[in-house]
Chain A
Amino acid sequence: MTPHFPIYLDYGATTPVDQRVVDAMIPWLREHYGNPASRSHAWGWEAEAAVERAREQVAALIGADPREIVWTSGATESNNLALKGAAHFYKGRGRHIVTVKTEHKAVLDTVRELERQGFEATFLDVGADGLLDLDRFKAALRPDTILASVMLVNNEIGVIQDIAAIGAICRARGIVFHTDAAQATGKVAIDLRSLPVDLMSLASHKTYGPKGIGALYVRRKPRVRLEAQMHGGGHERGMRSGTLPTHQIVGMGEAFRIAGHEMGTELERVRSLQQRLLRGLTDIEQTYLNGHAEQRVPHNVNMSFNFVEGESLIMGLKGVAVSSGSACTSASLEPSYVLRALGRSDELAHSSLRMTIGRYTTAEEVDAVVATLIDRVARLRELSPLWEMYKDGVDLSKIQWVAH
Chain B
Amino acid sequence: MAYSDKVIDHYDNPRNVGSFDKGDDTVGTGMVGAPACGDVMKLQIKVDPATGRIEDARFKTYGCGSAIASSSLVTEWVKGKSLDEALTIRNTQIAEELALPPVKIHCSILAEDAIKAAVEDYRAKQSAPAGAAASH
Which A residues contact B (CB, under 8 angstroms)?
Answer: 307-309, 311-312, 315-316, 326-329, 331, 333, 335, 345-347, 350, 382-388, 396, 399, 401-404
Contacts and interface: CB of A to CB of B under 8 A. Distances in A.
A343 to B, nearest CB: 14
A5 to B, nearest CB: 13
The 7 closest A-B CB pairs, nearest first, are: A401-B34, A346-B36, A311-B64, A347-B35, A385-B42, A385-B60, A403-B34
B67 to A, nearest CB: 8
A312 B7 CA distance: 11
B17 A350 contact: no
A31 to B, nearest CB: 42
B61 interface: yes
Interface in B52-107: 60-65, 67-68, 103, 106
B1 interface: yes
A219 to B, nearest CB: 43
Contact of A384 (B1, B62, B106, B117): B62
Nearest to B65: A315
B32 interface: yes
Contact of B35 (A315, A316, A333, A396): A396
B37 interface: yes
Nearest to B8: A315
B61 A384 contact: yes
A382 B17 contact: yes
A20 to B, nearest CB: 34
Query: B8, B38, B110, B136: which has the most chain A beta carbons within 10 Å?
Result: B38
A145 to B, nearest CB: 35
Contact of A401 (B17, B33, B65): B33
A255 B129 CA distance: 74
Contacts of A401: 33-36, 40
Contacts of B47: none
B68 to A, nearest CB: 6
B80 to A, nearest CB: 23
B41 interface: yes
Contacts of A387: 62
B36 A347 contact: yes
A315 B38 contact: no
A404 B30 CA distance: 13
Chain B contact patch, size range: 20 to 34
Given A311-B1, A386-B62, A402-B31, 12 more contacts: A309-B63, A311-B65, A315-B8, A326-B64, A346-B37, A385-B42, A385-B62, A399-B136, A401-B40, A402-B33, A402-B117, A403-B37
Given A315-B3, A383-B14, A388-B19, A402 B32 contact: yes
Nearest to A348: B35
Interface of B: 1, 3, 8, 11, 14, 17, 19, 31-42, 60-65, 67-68, 103, 106, 109-110, 113, 117, 136
A354 to B, nearest CB: 16
B50 to A, nearest CB: 29
B37 A386 contact: no
B11 A312 contact: yes
A383 B64 contact: no
Contacts of A309: 38-39, 62-64, 67
Nearest to B107: A328
Given A315-B3, A315-B11, A327-B38, A403 B62 contact: no
Nearest to B3: A315
Contacts of A383: 14, 17, 60-62, 68
Contacts of B38: 309, 311, 326-328, 333, 335, 346, 350
B43 to A, nearest CB: 10
B64 A388 contact: no
Given A335-B38, A350-B35, A385-B42, A312 B64 contact: yes
A224 to B, nearest CB: 43
Nearest to B60: A385
Contact of B32 (A329, A331, A404): A404
Nearest to B71: A383
11 contacts: A312-B64, A312-B65, A316-B11, A346-B38, A347-B36, A350-B38, A382-B17, A385-B40, A386-B35, A402-B31, A403-B36
A384 B60 contact: yes
Contacts of B113: 404
Contact of B64 (A307, A328, A402, A404): A328
